[in-house]
């Protein structure tokens, strides 16, 4: 027993299922340093109660003291920026608290570690190689940005800009080399933070999975908390990096350029490269990880389940380690990078639109800067309210096999959704308070209320997206069961039913997005903010506030996403180390829920991406207007060049998806051949007399992931640049300097709308196929090993590259379109005359 904070708690060092020999081997293992992080982990494990309590006290008293000091700062923008930096720093401290809590749990038996160690080594090895390639490409593109900015056209340095019938200042006038250098630096900062967020997700996942398996022997509550807090660690780090990185750049640029006529409302235009860098890394991370994980998964399922009739994660399957590694490098690292760039893009675009609105509405300087920093305070609120929700995830301790009065195990999804409701309620309260404090205008005392309602619309939309996605991907509901029923008559009808469900699943989310956009826009218009001619101009900022509302619980949703791959790995470790049926039943239960939470997060990502892209599109129009000194509010698709640009944007989504899915198929073929070869040449594998060669399959998918991610990744980055430059040249020839920018606007419109629909179809269809298989594995329609099950496995393999490679990558693709065009907007404009 140990004493923590005055409460006596039982801390099992070893579970009741361990023999004395296992205990001795664990003690010998703990005396060794197995990897470069062993010293850190040993320090955390040996941390005394007083040291542990010190972290808890710091989380309480550091914010109080800092807030007292901030009260002395008069400028509202500086005060909010420093407060955001403080909150993000405290969030990092909170993540350390979660990490210490996780690593103080035991690592299970030697048999468990014999499985988890190769998973950890494979994940970290692939990550290091993959991100080495990504950073080399990042440096290349950063240098290219600097050069392009040095040779861009000159902005309209004199005169004024007619925007919504109001004369406002034009673009920031800094030397070309300075603008290029600032863009390149912010690009690299965004790329670094995105990579760090992905690494945090992978690092903690490969250390939490075995602890979940071990905890499942003794306490259901501890297993759930470990699984969820493992995802929460990465989620908190993710949002803290986004908020802290953008806030730090805002403060640095404000102090550096305060004396050169750069107003606070214009500062966000200086770090648009941050969003591009985050999107650039997220694209390659999602592609490489997705190709890796699904190539291994498809190969393992087709041979293992269909041909050899062995269970999932069976130790006899040569591709099983590669499959488990893929969960970490794909679902964890890729999803973290995806959400990081979503939040970063939303913050930057909302800051740009807030600054534009403040200039047009001619509000006071102190009120104007409050509109700019408002997104920072919203995401600080997210860190706080989601952290409260994370700490409330709990259920009854113990297990039914040890306590006859325990009762049935509580559904893990219900446990998480109850805490999600807590975070949502707190988010509404904090959001309304932030609107009152920062969006209050002296001349319009009721304006903040309309923006608060727009934020509430966004919060409700996020909840609806989670629920709709769950309806189409959870086997408790009709759509998934329809696919399972279709599997009775074979793989063909399974695939037909899955395609039908995937297409149907696009309707409700699109209706939700449409209603949210219209409501939030009109609420912003009704706020009373008008330009000099009395025309309402608050609509776009209303949609920005709704987007912030949707992401106001992003930390908690990302924690649910991290729950999935950790639970999947825990189940794989339990199966491969041949643990008891009772333990496997618990990890299977967590794994099944993890599939739903991963699907929910993907739906949430699509919704947030749709709203964020609308903001980025509006920010792009504003930047072109500011640079050219000419109004740019309408995109006329009746112009042939603009219509062609739209067609190219829509086509790119299909071509990108094709290349991503084909990459998985090509790599999966190599895995299938290798697994078949091993079963054919080594008869002892099926009888447990000899061990499969796991390393060969890991090497196959590692090479494939690194090789195949480059082509679709470069396609997504280079296509909008090439299209913009081609039509800029056409515009210069025809005497239409804005033609390149207009064509890119059409490219963005068509590409974004097509991408939203495609992502919804691929994500939900793939998730439904997966859970139809899971439903049959519960015993429905003949259960495991039946012909129905084999048909469902075939459908699942079709859905795997859809939901875990192409679908999630399209989230990044449509935001990459927006961020790259926002950064390069001045380069698509021909020389002004």
Are 551 and 342 a contacting pair, CB within 8 Å? yes
pLDDT band at residue 15 using 50, 70 and 90 as cut-offs? very low
Contacts of 257 (CB under 8 A, 6+ apart): 174, 267, 270
Mean pLDDT along residues 223-230: 94
Structure confidence by residue, pLDDT tens digits, 486-521: 999 999 999 999 999 999 999 999 999 999 999 999
Q: What is the pLDDT confidence band of residue 652, given thresholds at 50, 70 and 90?
A: very high
**Mean pLDDT on 784-798:** 91
User: Which has the higher per-residue pLDDT, 68 or 245?
Assistant: 245
Spatial CA neighbour of 367 closest among 264, 463, 287: 264
Distances, alpha carbon 776 to alpha carbons 42, 374, 482, 502, 582, in Å: 43, 48, 12, 19, 20
**Secondary structure string (H, E, C) spanning 716-735:** HHHHHHHHHHHHHHHHHHHC
Residue 25: is its pLDDT beyond 60? no
Residues of 697-725 as b/e, b for ≥16 C-beta within 10 angstroms? bbebbbebbbebbeebbeebbebbbebbb
Model pLDDT, residue 531: 81
Question: Per mean pLDDT, which range of 195-209, 228-242, 594-608, 687-701 is the poorest?
Answer: 594-608
Counting residues of the chain whose pLDDT is more than 70, the rounded percentage is 87
Q: What is the pLDDT of residue 416?
A: 92
Residue 10 pLDDT: 32
- Reported as a pLDDT band with limits 50, 70 and 90, residue 70 is low
- What's the CA gap between 685 and 538, in Å, rounded? 67
Residues 44-61 have a mean pLDDT of 54
pLDDT higher than 90, residue 705: no
Query: CA neighbours within 13 Å on the CB side: how many for 16?
Result: 9
Model confidence, pTM: 0.85
Name, in order, each residue with C-beta under 8 angstroms of 450's C-beta and a sequence gap of 6 or more: 523, 524, 526, 527, 528, 538, 542
Considering only residues 663 and 531, tell me which one the structure prediction assigns the higher pLDDT: 663
Q: What is the per-residue pLDDT for 180?
A: 83
Q: Distances in Å between the alpha carbon of 457 and those of 226, 417, 512?
A: 33, 19, 10
Phi-psi region of 313 (alpha: psi -120 to 50; beta: other; left: phi over 0): left
Q: CA dihedral defined by 624, 625, 629, 634, rounded to 10 degrees?
A: 120
**E strands within 424-569?**
none
For 382-417, what is each residue's pLDDT tens digit? 999 999 999 999 999 988 888 888 888 898 989 999
Give dist(CA 476, CA 159) in Å, integer: 63
Whether the per-residue pLDDT at 54 is higher than 80: the answer is no
Are 292 and 334 within 8 A, CB to CB?
no
Contact call for residues 604 and 466 (beta carbons, < 8 A): yes
Question: Is residue 64 predicted with pLDDT exceeding 70?
Answer: no
Q: What is the pLDDT of residues 152-168, one digit of tens each?
A: 666 554 333 333 334 44
CA distances (Å), 590 to each of 22, 169, 393, in order? 26, 56, 14
Residue 386 confidence (pLDDT): 94
**3-class secondary structure for 355-381?**
HHHHHHHCCCHHHHHHHHHHHHHHHHH
């Amino acid at each position: 027993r140990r004493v923590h904070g005055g409460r006596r708690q039982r801390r099992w060092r070893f579970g009741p299922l361990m023999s004395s020999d296992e205990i001795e081997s664990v003690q010998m293992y703990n005396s060794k340093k197995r990897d470069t992080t062993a010293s850190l982990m040993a320090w955390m494990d040996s941390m005394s109660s007083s040291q542990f309590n010190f972290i808890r006290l710091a989380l309480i008293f550091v914010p109080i003291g800092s807030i007292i000091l901030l009260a002395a700062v008069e400028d509202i923008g500086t005060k909010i920026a420093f407060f955001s930096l403080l909150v993000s720093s405290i969030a990092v401290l909170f993540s350390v608290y979660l990490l210490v809590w996780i690593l103080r749990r035991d690592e299970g038996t030697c048999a468990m570690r014999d499985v988890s160690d190769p998973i950890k080594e494979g994940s970290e090895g692939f990550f290091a190689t993959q991100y080495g390639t990504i950073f080399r490409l990042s440096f290349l593109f950063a240098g290219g940005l600097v050069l392009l900015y040095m040779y861009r056209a000159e902005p309209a340095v004199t005169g004024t800009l007619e925007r919504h019938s109001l004369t406002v200042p034009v673009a920031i006038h800094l030397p070309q080399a300075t603008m290029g250098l600032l863009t390149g630096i912010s690009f690299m900062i965004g790329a670094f933070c995105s990579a760090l967020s992905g690494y945090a997700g992978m690092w903690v996942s490969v250390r939490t999975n075995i602890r979940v398996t071990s905890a499942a022997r003794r306490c259901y509550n501890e297993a759930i908390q470990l699984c969820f807090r493992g995802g929460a660690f990465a989620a908190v780090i993710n949002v803290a990096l986004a908020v802290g990185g953008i806030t730090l750049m805002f403060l640095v640029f404000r102090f550096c350029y305060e004396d050169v006529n750069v107003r606070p409302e214009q500062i966000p235009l200086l770090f648009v490269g941050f969003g591009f860098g985050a999107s650039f890394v997220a694209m390659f991370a999602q592609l490489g990880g997705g190709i890796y994980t699904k190539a291994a998964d498809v190969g393992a399922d087709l041979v293992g389940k269909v041909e050899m009739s062995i269970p999932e994660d069976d130790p006899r399957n040569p591709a099983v380690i590669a499959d488990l590694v893929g969960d970490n490098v794909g679902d964890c690292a890729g999803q973290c990078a995806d959400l990081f760039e979503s939040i970063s893009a939303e913050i930057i675009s909302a800051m740009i639109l807030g600054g534009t609105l403040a200039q047009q509405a001619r509000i006071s300087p102190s009120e104007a800067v409050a509109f700019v920093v408002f997104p920072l305070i919203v995401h600080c609120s997210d860190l706080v309210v989601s952290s409260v929700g994370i700490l409330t995830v709990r259920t009854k301790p113990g297990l039914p096999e040890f306590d006859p009065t325990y009762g049935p195990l509580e559904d893990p999804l219900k446990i998480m959704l109850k805490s999600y409701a807590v975070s949502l309620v707190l988010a509404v309260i904090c959001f309304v308070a932030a609107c009152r404090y920062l969006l209050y205008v002296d001349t319009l005392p009721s304006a903040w209320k309309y923006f608060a309602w727009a934020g509430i619309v966004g919060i409700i939309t996020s909840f609806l997206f989670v629920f709709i996605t769950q309806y189409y991907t959870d086997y408790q509901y009709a759509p998934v069961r329809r696919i399972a029923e279709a599997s009775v008559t074979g793989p063909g009808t399974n695939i037909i039913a899955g395609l039908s469900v995937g297409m149907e699943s696009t309707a409700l989310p699109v209706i939700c997005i449409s209603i949210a956009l219209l409501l939030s826009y009109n609420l912003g218009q009704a706020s009373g903010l008008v330009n000099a001619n009395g025309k309402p101009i608050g609509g776009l900022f209303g949609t920005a506030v709704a987007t912030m509302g949707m992401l106001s619980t992003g930390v908690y949703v990302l924690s649910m996403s991290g729950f999935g791959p950790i639970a999947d790995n825990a189940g794989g470790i339990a199966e491969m180390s041949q643990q008891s049926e009772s333990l496997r039943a618990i990890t299977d239960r967590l794994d099944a829920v993890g599939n739903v939470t991963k699907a929910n997060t993907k739906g949430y990502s699509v919704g947030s991406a749709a709203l964020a892209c609308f903001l980025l599109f509006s920010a792009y129009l504003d930047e072109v207007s500011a640079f050219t000194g000419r109004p740019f509010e309408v995109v006329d698709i009746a112009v042939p060049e603009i219509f062609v640009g739209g067609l190219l944007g829509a086509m790119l989504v299909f071509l990108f998806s094709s290349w991503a899915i084909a990459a998985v198929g090509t790599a999966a073929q190599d895995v299938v051949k290798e697994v078949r070869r091993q079963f054919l040449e080594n008869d002892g594998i099926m009888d447990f007399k000899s061990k499969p060669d796991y390393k060969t399959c890991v090497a196959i998918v590692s090479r494939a992931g690194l090789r195949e991610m480059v082509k679709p990744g470069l396609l997504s980055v280079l296509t909008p640049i090439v299209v913009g430059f081609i039509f800029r040249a056409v515009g210069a020839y025809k005497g239409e300097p804005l033609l390149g920018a207009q064509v890119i606007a059409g490219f963005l419109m068509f590409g974004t709308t097509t991408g939203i629909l495609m992502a919804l179809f691929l994500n939900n269809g793939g998730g439904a196929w997966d859970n139809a298989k899971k439903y049959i594995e519960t015993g429905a329609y003949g259960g495991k090993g039946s012909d129905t099950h084999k048909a469902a496995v075939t459908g699942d393999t079709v859905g795997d590259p859809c939901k875990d490679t192409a679908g999630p990558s399209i989230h990044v693709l449509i935001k990459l379109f927006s961020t790259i065009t926002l950064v390069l907007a001045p380069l698509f404009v021909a020389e002004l005359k």
